[in-house]
């Protein structure tokens, strides 16, 4: 699933606040200190190193740095001062320990699989998640009534699940999108600095791909192609998407086994099931095509939007109009996709790109979970228009909720983006901050003073608005905001663990100043 921010070039600002080698020393300092704290890990992943060595700093010195630098909440310490201060301490105590070649194929193994329950959790989720998709799709099929309180009729014939032609359509869709992604138009943006000091290039032409795709869609509509095709063959599309996400995950796993250890993600654990699920390689590529960047934003996300559009187009053709609730949910979700593609480069600083490997979790999320389940509200309204909200006041209230969610979502992401790009930007310079030992600061007022993940909060409000268009007859159309709350809570905890590692006492100070995690004043 895609993670989205609006931080076009955070790394550039990092480059401005400290020199590369200084950054490396501080980052290594942080990293080693925290990995010592996590004693159960036998071997840590490759550290950020300078040209010839790794550095190690004792836990005691770590604590000293944290104490010295994280003593107050302020908005007037310059990042340069903080970095210089931390480096002064670091430089006097750092000792050379070992030379660690990056290209060694040796496996980097952790003894402690951290997220999603390790090997057992990874294996269980690999089986369970596709079943959830099937269960919801089948339950909301027109013959089953979208009831959560009875076991749905399950199609028995394999042909109802599988059609080779549909496989061809779905595969053709991926290839079409890959070709659009490879068009040499649009800006090339640099990714974050990798552990070996490289920065990869990413071609950002998502809006162009969207434009071409929409033109093709319009052409098909005016050529009178059957717009209900996807709806009529929904189960077969779902099977094709799930199957192809498995194929992609197996390919990625095999590819990663042959990749040098330096290309592996920091979370790789050495357990086969866990690595298959979480992904082993950080930035797998085929030629110029960065697979994770591509699959995060293109086939699944644009596909989701087109599924909604096909339902509207089909209803328009059949009835001469589109149900207002279907129109609204399609509009909301289109804005969401547009926003993601407009701010495409910002995904380069999200957890998914910087930290997670590309494995089954993301492949399945991108290719099956997003298009098959995020379109559930539109699918439901199309199938059961009698249950959807049609009262104009209620629809107006839903629009209001969507707008509030969108403002918070975009505002929070942009505020952090502006701050990370240039803390002296007048739009954010007045905000209160907490200095950290890395030289970066944490925002503690504005959106980021409301709760620790205001962008998630905005996202959740929008998710709720989408489901409210479905009315209150059935529970299953509310699957999206319910699961999203769980997903984002878990994601917040995982990211918080990273932040605690990165920022130590400063992060704790932030948590103290902003006690709510996701929902202001409540949670
Ligand atoms: P964020 O954009 O919130 O990024 C987290 C990072 O922000 C942290 O690692 C830290 O990085 C920085 N940060 C945290 N707190 C502060 C602070 N107080 N001040 C300054 N910087 C801070 O998270 P994600 O990448 O998870 O999400 C991005 C967007 O994607 C969100 O809007 C989310 O709702 C959306 N999303 C959507 C999904 C979907 O399926 N639709 C799934 C997941 C996410 P650092 O300090 O290094 O800069």
Q: What is the DSSP string of 116-174?
A: GGHHHHHHHHHHHHHHHHHHHHHHTSTTTTT-SSSPPPPP--GGGT--HHHHHHHHHHH
SS3 95: strand
- Ligand 1 pocket by C-beta < 6 Å: which residues? 1-5, 350-351, 409, 413, 416, 420, 440, 442-443, 448, 453, 455-456, 459, 491, 495, 498-499, 510
Distance, CA 420 to ligand 1 centroid (Å)? 12
- The residue to mutate among 1, 3, 70, having the most atoms of ligand 1 within 8 angstroms of its beta carbon, is 3
Could you say which residues of the chain have pLDDT below 70?
A: 1-114, 267-268
Reduced to 3 states (helix: H, G, I; strand: E, B; else coil), residue 188 is: strand
Asked if 488 and 457 touch (Cβ cutoff 8 Å), the reply is no
The span from the CA of 470 to the CA of 146, in Å, is: 12
The pLDDT value given to residue 267: 63
Cβ atoms of 258 and 341 closer than 8 Å: no
Query: For residue 431, how many other CB atoms are within 10 A of its CB?
Result: 19
> Do residues 87 and 64 make contact, with C-beta atoms less than 8 angstroms apart?
no
Q: Could you give the CA distance from residue 369 to residue 246 in angstroms, rounded to a whole number?
A: 12
At 94-151, the pLDDT tens digits run 333 333 333 333 334 444 445 787 888 889 999 999 999 999 999 998 888 788 878 8
Distance 384 CA to ligand 1 centre (A): 36
CA-to-CA separations, 303 to 5, 138, 299, 337, in angstroms, rounded: 21, 20, 5, 10
Please tell me the distance between residue 92's alpha carbon and the centre of ligand 1 in angstroms. Answer: 34
pLDDT in tens, 368-384: 999 999 999 999 999 99
Phi, psi of 434 (to 5 degrees): -115, 125
CA dist., res. 476 & res. 102, Å (int): 49
Q: Do 470 and 428 contact (CB within 8 A), yes or no?
A: no
- 3-state SS, residue 36: helix
Q: For residues 74 and 82, what is the distance between their CA atoms, to the nearest angstrom?
A: 12
Residue 466: exposed, middle, or buried by beta-carbon count in 10 A (0-12, 13-18, 19+)? Answer: buried
Where along the chain do its domains lie?
2-98, 121-383, 389-523
């Amino acid at each position: 699933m895609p993670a989205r921010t609006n931080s076009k070039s955070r790394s550039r600002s990092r480059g401005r606040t400290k020199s590369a080698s200084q950054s490396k020393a501080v980052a290594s300092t942080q990293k080693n200190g925290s990995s010592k704290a996590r004693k159960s890990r036998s071997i840590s992943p490759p550290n950020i190193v300078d040209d010839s060595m790794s550095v190690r700093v004792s836990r005691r010195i770590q604590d000293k740095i944290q104490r010295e630098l994280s003593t107050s909440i302020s908005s007037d310490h310059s990042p340069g001062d903080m970095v210089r201060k931390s480096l002064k301490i670091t430089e006097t105590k750092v000792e050379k320990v070992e030379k660690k070649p990056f290209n060694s194929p040796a496996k980097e193994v952790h003894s402690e699989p951290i997220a999603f329950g390790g090997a057992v959790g990874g294996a269980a989720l690999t089986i369970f998640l596709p079943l959830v998709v099937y269960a919801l799709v089948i339950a909301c099929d027109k013959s089953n009534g979208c009831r959560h309180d009875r076991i749905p009729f399950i199609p028995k014939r394999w042909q109802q699940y599988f059609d080779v032609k549909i496989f061809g359509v779905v595969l053709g869709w991926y290839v079409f999108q890959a070709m659009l992604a490879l068009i040499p138009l649009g800006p090339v943006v640099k990714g974050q600095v990798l552990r070996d000091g490289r920065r990869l290039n990413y071609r950002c032409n998502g809006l162009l791909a969207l434009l071409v795709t929409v033109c093709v869609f319009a052409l098909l509509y005016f050529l009178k192609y059957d717009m209900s095709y996807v709806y009529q063959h929904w189960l077969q599309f779902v099977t094709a998407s799930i199957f192809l996400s498995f194929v992609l995950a197996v390919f990625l796993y095999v590819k990663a086994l042959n990749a040098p250890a330096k290309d592996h993600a920091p979370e790789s654990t050495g357990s086969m099931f866990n690595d298959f699920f979480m992904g082993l390689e950080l930035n797998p590529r085929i030629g110029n095509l960065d697979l994770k960047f591509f699959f995060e934003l293109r086939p699944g996300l644009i596909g989701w939007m087109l599924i909604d559009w096909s339902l509207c187009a089909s209803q328009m053709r059949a009835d001469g109009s589109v149900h207002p609730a279907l129109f609204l949910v399609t509009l909301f979700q289109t804005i969401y996709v547009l926003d993601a593609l407009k701010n495409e480069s910002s995904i380069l600083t999200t957890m998914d790109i910087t930290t997670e490997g590309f494995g089954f979790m993301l492949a399945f999320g991108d290719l099956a979970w997003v298009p098959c389940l995020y379109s559930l509200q539109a699918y439901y309204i199309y199938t059961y228009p009698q249950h959807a909200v049609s009262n104009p006041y209620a629809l107006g209230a839903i629009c209001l909720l969507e707008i509030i969610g969108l403002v918070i979502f975009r505002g929070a992401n942009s505020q952090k983006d502006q701050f990370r790009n240039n803390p002296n930007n007048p739009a954010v310079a007045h905000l209160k901050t907490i200095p950290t030992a890395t030289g970066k600061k944490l925002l503690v007022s504005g959106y980021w003073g409301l709760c620790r993940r205001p962008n998630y909060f905005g996202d959740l409000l929008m998710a709720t608005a989408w489901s409210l268009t479905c009315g209150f007859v059935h529970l299953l159309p509310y699957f999206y905001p319910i699961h999203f709350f769980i997903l984002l809570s878990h994601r917040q905890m995982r990211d918080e663990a990273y932040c605690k590692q990165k920022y130590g006492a400063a992060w704790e100070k932030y948590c103290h100043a902003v006690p709510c995690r996701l929902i202001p004043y409540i949670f």
